[in-house]
Amino acid sequence: MTPMHLDLNLLTSLDALLEEGSVAGAADRLHLTAPAMSRALSRIRRVTGDQILVRTGRTMTPTPHALAIRGKVHALVQQAHAVLAPDVDLDLTTLERTFTLRWHDAVTAGAGPAVLAAVRDQAPGVRLRFLAESEADDNDLRHGRVDLELGADEPALPDIQAETAAQDRLVVALRPHHPLARGPLTLKRYIAADHLTVSRRGRLRDPIDDALHERGTTRRVIAAVPTLAAALQFARRNDVLVAMPERMGAALVRETGLGTRALPLPVPPVPLILAWHRRYDTDRAHTWLRTVVRHALTPDGEH
């Protein structure tokens, strides 16, 4: 067998193996049996003269050669699919598809309504599934269980595309009768108050604490709450401060009747990072949805 025998199916198998890092994962993605994928891996090994994946304990690790060709293999597969795909324009009026979106709850509340309105207007056959953020890192984007993520963290996997679609600034949410609702909110008054953090993992520290540490001071965090919506409900009934993204959290603040104040210390803006698997780079429907989301994240696109 020579390299000329590397047909598209074998390249597709190689692409899946390099992205999944396992025979079972690649088989699941391509809807094949594990033995069939094992046979494909054996053929790839014979053609390339390289093991591609080697077992290390209970996992499989790509060889240096596999790491070196991963990008080229994926590009070849994407180009082949683009060449073979029917060259037809996307007709949004007849498009029927369900997209699964996993977003931070503040972003869902802030931009979700505008996304839904645009989808209903442009592609009435499209349905959206909004999921809450996961407590742990997973491979849902890679496995196709999630189509589009939107949060503040950069993805760690090399096959996940990401872009900073927008930025938001942090402000302080508090109830109208909070002692700090009136008068200047100085740093001294701020750190003397009680605070909540918003963390789906229950972390009692966030970037504000890092900024305070650099200034040689700390604040008192009395609780961690998994979502911004829940944190603002806490703030309705308690004299606590909640840091939140100003634009994305505006709808939730209005619903709870809380007010906002500027943070009394400089902190970096919150990035809104859009992430998707690179298999959708040239998918016209997915590209359209990303454009809709980008527009909804801009100040002019929210209304």
Question: Which domains are present in the chain?
Answer: 3-84 (1.10.10.10), 97-168+271-301 (3.40.190.10), 170-268 (3.40.190.10)
pLDDT tens-digit profile, the chain (303 residues): 444 445 778 888 998 898 888 999 899 888 889 999 999 999 999 989 999 999 888 888 999 999 898 888 887 887 777 676 665 678 999 999 999 999 999 999 999 999 999 999 999 999 999 998 876 666 788 878 899 999 888 888 888 999 999 999 999 999 999 999 999 999 999 999 999 999 988 999 999 999 999 999 999 999 999 999 999 999 999 999 999 999 999 999 999 999 999 999 999 999 999 999 988 888 899 999 999 999 999 876 554
Predicted structure pTM score: 0.72
CA atoms of 18 and 155, how far apart (whole Å)? 18
CA atoms of 178 and 175, how far apart (whole Å)? 5
Structure tokens at 116: 């839904």
For residue 5, the model assigns a pLDDT of 47
